[in-house]
Amino acid sequence: MACNPTTLLLFVAALVLLGGASPSSGAILNGLTVNGLLCCTGNGNCPGQRLANVGVRLNCTVLGLSSTVVGIGTTNATGGYTITIPALPGLLLGSPLLPCNVNIKLPLDAAVCPVLSATTGFLVGTLHVVGTVFNTVLGLVQVASVDAYVHVGA
């Protein structure tokens, strides 16, 4: 009598949410979120002057294809960026080694960063898995941060 159908439904929904968010239950990862920072230095690594409004691409190599852009982002006022993508067919989330990189196409505008304006190629950053986070749209996603960039292709 105290248990109307709406209350029951909410209770069941809460149980499903809790179950889905528990890493110990071997939860399914629904995507990947990548955090990084970009500075105006010879290879883009910080510390240095933070670079705002610079385009960053997330590339992954999945299903035997060559490296493909799977997500894009832009650095914010403090040089930070976050790129989140849903799970991709063939991308094994949960593994410590992701077949992905973030990259910044060079040159940058001289007014933005002189030291990165007179060179071509890409700054390529490798990913380092740091854990999982609950994303309001996707649910549980893997989190990776960007290690040092290297300048490739000149």
Ligand X SMILES: *[C@@H]1O[C@H](CO)[C@@H](O)[C@H](O)[C@H]1NC(C)=O
**Chain positions contacting ligand X, by CB under 6 A:** 35, 59, 67-69, 76-78, 80-82, 101, 103, 122, 124
Q: State in angstroms the smallest separation of the CB of 70 from ligand X.
A: 8
Question: Measured between alpha carbons, how far is 153 from 145 in angstroms, rounded to an integer?
Answer: 23
Torsional class of 153: left (φ above 0), alpha (ψ -120 to 50), beta (otherwise) = left
Residue 35 CB, nearest distance to ligand X (Å)?
Answer: 5
- DSSP per-residue string spanning 105-132: EEPPPTTT-GGGTS--EEEEEEEEEEEE
Closest CB to ligand X: residue number: 80
- Whichever of 30 and 67 has its CB closer to ligand X, that residue is 67
If the CB atoms of residues 19 and 153 are measured against ligand X, the closer one turns out to be 153
d(CA 97, CA 10): 38
| Closest by Cα among 60, 62, 82, 64 to 73 | 82
Q: In the complex, what is the shortest distance from the CB of residue 18 to ligand X, in angstroms, rounded to a whole number?
A: 27
Q: Which is nearer to ligand X, 1 or 77 (CB)?
A: 77
Per DSSP, the residues of 31-44 read EEEEEEE-BSSTTS
Which of 20/43 has CB closer to ligand X?
43
Task: State the minimum distance, in angstroms, from the CB of residue 152 to ligand X.
Answer: 7
